[in-house]
Amino acid sequence: MNNTLFSPKSILMLGFAAFMFAAAPVAAQDTQEVIPELPEPIQNLVNEGAQIRYLGRDLGVDGWIAVKNGREQFFYVLPSGQAFLSGILFDGKGKAITHEQVRRLQAQGDETINALAADNAYEAEQAEERKQKYEFKTPSEQLYWDVENSNWIPVGLAGTPVLYAFVDPQCPHCHRMMSALREQIEAGKAQVRLIPVGLRPETKSQAAFLLASPDPAQTWWRHLDDIKKLPAKQEISTQGVERNLMVMTTWKLSATPLVVYRGKDQKVKIIQGNPKDIEALINDLGARS
């Protein structure tokens, strides 16, 4: 088992927002190097309670890791200082430089990084155990495995019962469903793992923006409060959204919202469209995050 900081799930939850730089050796980090000033968007994360660590300067860009609510995100500030990117940094040969940077932090004995690494390793082990327990027994278990490994964002507290929901940002039925679930989510009775998809080019870009957002849960709630709060930026990679759409098309699922969850009886259950009884749905949730 690989006990490094970013698991495949970690990379998926970043929406595949990776980017490439020309091949160059990773510069050795001077232990006395000056840590640059935090860019304003990253400082906002600090103000919201995130823990920030400087990854160093590699391939000409300053890297940062933000740890919030047990999840990590990686940011790279361009040399001009006027823009930054979120994702995994690769060199021209496809080597994950972010991986090397995290290893450097771990080698320095950073307690936050090491604790997060342990949490991610435990999550990966639990996922593997679930896979071995359920895989290939029934088509519904294979579906649940595919859904678990899609690109989702958590809305609600960790450790609460989980349901997965495919949503299109502009789907009014999705909005009604999430509005109906909001009280249950905020009361700590459920965590909804939103799987953003886009059934039109505009909504696909909005879904990609949601996946790449530093605080996707709050971005989603702001979107419900004001539909104009979720922009359709064409420059954001939609690869993560395409992966989610592929799960839907593979299983011949064509409409949103679509809810998938494991009930208290351990059976995989699917609800197409808005759940008719939210209270019954919450009471039937069996799997926990």
pLDDT band at 14 (very low <50, low <70, confident <90, very high): very low
Q: Is 135-284 a domain of CATH 3.40.30.10?
A: yes
51: β partners: 67
pLDDT of residue 116: 55
As a whole number of angstroms, the distance between CA 6 and CA 12 comes to 10
Cβ neighbours of residue 235 under 8 Å, at least 6 residues apart?
A: none
Please give the mean pLDDT across all residues of the chain.
77
Q: In the chain, where does the domain assigned CATH 3.10.450.70 lie?
A: 8-119
Give yes or no for residue 240 having a pLDDT over 90.
no
pLDDT greater at residue 258 or residue 126: 258
pTM, whole model, 2 decimals? 0.57
Residues 6+ apart with CB under 8 A from 173: 256, 257, 273, 274
Q: How confident is the model at residue 168 (pLDDT cuts 50, 70, 90)?
A: very high
Instruction: Indicate the pLDDT class of residue 4, thresholds 50, 70 and 90.
Output: very low
To the nearest 5 percent, what fractions of the chain are helix, strand and coil? 40, 20, 40
Residue 22's pLDDT band (boundaries 50, 70, 90)?
very low
Domain boundaries for CATH 3.40.30.10 within the chain? 135-284
* Higher pLDDT, residue 124 or 256: 256
Q: How far apart are the first and last CA of the chain?
A: 20
Per-residue pLDDT at 182 exceeds 70: yes
* Domain 8-119 part of CATH 1.10.1060.10: no
Residues 195/164, Cβ–Cβ less than 8 Å: yes
Instruction: Give exposure, 158-193, as e/b (b: 16+ Cβ within 10 Å).
Output: eebbbbbbbbbbbbeebbebbeebeebbeeebbbbb
Which of 136-150, 178-192, 241-255 holds the top average pLDDT? 178-192
Report which secondary-structure segment, H or E, holds 210: helix 201-212
CA atoms within 13 A on the CB side of 70: 13
Residue 26's pLDDT band (cuts 50, 70, 90) = very low
